[in-house]
Amino acid sequence: MSRKQHLAQGAGSSEFSRSDSGSGEFSRSNAGSYHARLRQKKHRGHVLRTVLIVLLLAVVGGGVAFAAWVYHIQSQLNDSAVVTDALRASLTERTAPQDPYYVLILGTDGRPGEDDYRADTIMLVRVDPANKHLTLLSIPRDTKVTYNGTVMKINAAHFYDGAAGMVDAVSQLCGVKISHYAEINFDGLSDITDAVGGVTVDVDEYMYDDVNFSDVVELQPGVQTLDGAHALFYTRCRKFANGDFTRMRHQRTFISALVKQILSSTDLVTLTNVVSTCAEYVTTDLSVTDAVSLAYEMSGIDVDTGVYAAYVPFKEYATIDGESYVVADDEKLAEMMKVIDSGGDPSTLNDGAYGSD
């Protein structure tokens, strides 16, 4: 029942009577949650008004320039070399705007203009707009799959069939339909981090690698704000006892912190700069309006309680025809996906030995 309907019932309603002060939406016991919801509504209203004012000023003050900017951003985001008809055919349309849906995010080692690059990081994200909740599931790039009848590492699907191949492979592995796709060039992560003014994370251990890195080669443990170069080292370094699993944990930690940084910003110049920078390094099927809508939907998310993170459970490492694989535990993964699909915390199903948060 809406607030208007409540008021229409009149002051004589039992919901407003003193004898019912211990229950009901407007009772003393629920006053805290009611005011919290009211503040949240005001926040969303403020965000929406800000967006509308900016759009109005853009149209009135420089409509042609604004339209050109949007077109430029759109053409960068929807790079036709990646966002193909095959990719769009592999994606499943969302049933309703507020229903949860899945997004496949790839971190690649490619550079602008390159056609040959690897899917270095694979993450399946469940987005729940109604409850302002995200669930991040990391998938080791060496995960063993059977794709088109051939045993291969899951990131090899990208080599054979590009983005569409990755969507199909991850969908088969996790048993869910995927609605959107995005690739993030990891070299661009440095610029995106700098565009938001740095990202604060709690580095959980001392990190050092002077073999694979030359700019930044170490990080001390502790809470610190990382600039672009240090963020790149933090998210790409894999010189740990458990290699990829610690790296995946660091990537989940960083992405959560980056989301918090972006959604908490109210500076329009900064946000515009972030959008422009992201467009240089992010390729997605999302339109500009889709991206703005997603940011609006998730504005106000509490990253500390509104983001779950886990990794695909696995049985063992295996060597097949000279190739090293991570073999997923299909039963545990199926159980985990049920938890994720219901909005629960999947990390409780990770054994803590690798990649735990």
Structure tokens at 290: 């889709």
CATH 3.40.630.190 range(s) for the chain read: 78-349
Quick check: 342 pLDDT over 80? yes
Q: Give percent helix, percent strand, percent coil of the chain, each to the nearest 5.
A: 50, 20, 30
Lowest pLDDT segment from 19-28, 108-117, 227-236, 286-295: 19-28
- Structure confidence at residue 268 (pLDDT): 65
CB 275 within 8 Å of CB 292: no
pLDDT at residue 63, rounded to an integer: 58
The pLDDT of residue 187 is above 80: no
Report how far apart, in Å, the C-alpha atoms of 339 and of each of 13, 15, 173 are: 41, 36, 16
Note the pLDDT of residue 59: 47
Q: Is the pLDDT of residue 332 over 80?
A: yes
The pLDDT, as a whole number, for residue 27 is 42
**Mean pLDDT for the stretch of residues 120-138:** 92
Instruction: Report percent pLDDT > 70 for the chain.
Output: 74
Tell me what the mean pLDDT of segment 50-78 comes to: 63
21 pLDDT higher than 60: no
Q: Which residues contact 267 (CB under 8 A, 6 or more apart)?
A: none
- According to DSSP, the β-strands at 133-139 and 119-128 are antiparallel
DSSP state of 96: S
CA distance 157 to 124: 15
Average pLDDT across the chain, whole number: 79
pLDDT tens, 204-244? 999 999 998 988 999 999 999 999 999 999 998 988 887 77
How far is Cα 307 from Cα 54, in angstroms, rounded to an integer? 29
pLDDT of amino acid 120: 80
Q: Kindly report the number of other CB atoms within 10 A of residue 117's CB atom.
A: 15
Fold exhibited by the domain 78-349 = Aminopeptidase (3.40.630)
- How many of the other CB atoms lie within 10 Å of CB of 344? 14
Residue 305: predicted pLDDT: 86
Query: If you average pLDDT over residues 141-154, what whole number do you get?
Result: 95
- On the question of pLDDT at 10 being above 50, the answer is no
For residue 238, the model assigns a pLDDT of: 87
Cα 181 from Cα 163, distance rounded (Å): 8
pLDDT given at position 186:
75
Question: What is the model's pTM?
Answer: 0.74
- The enclosing H or E element of 106 equals strand 101-108
Position 139 pLDDT exceeds 50: yes
Mean pLDDT of 153-182: 95
169/107: higher pLDDT = 169
Closest CA to 183 of 115, 260, 263: 115
Give residue 329's pLDDT: 95
Maximum average pLDDT range among 7-11, 200-204, 244-248: 200-204
Residue 20 pLDDT > 70, yes or no? no
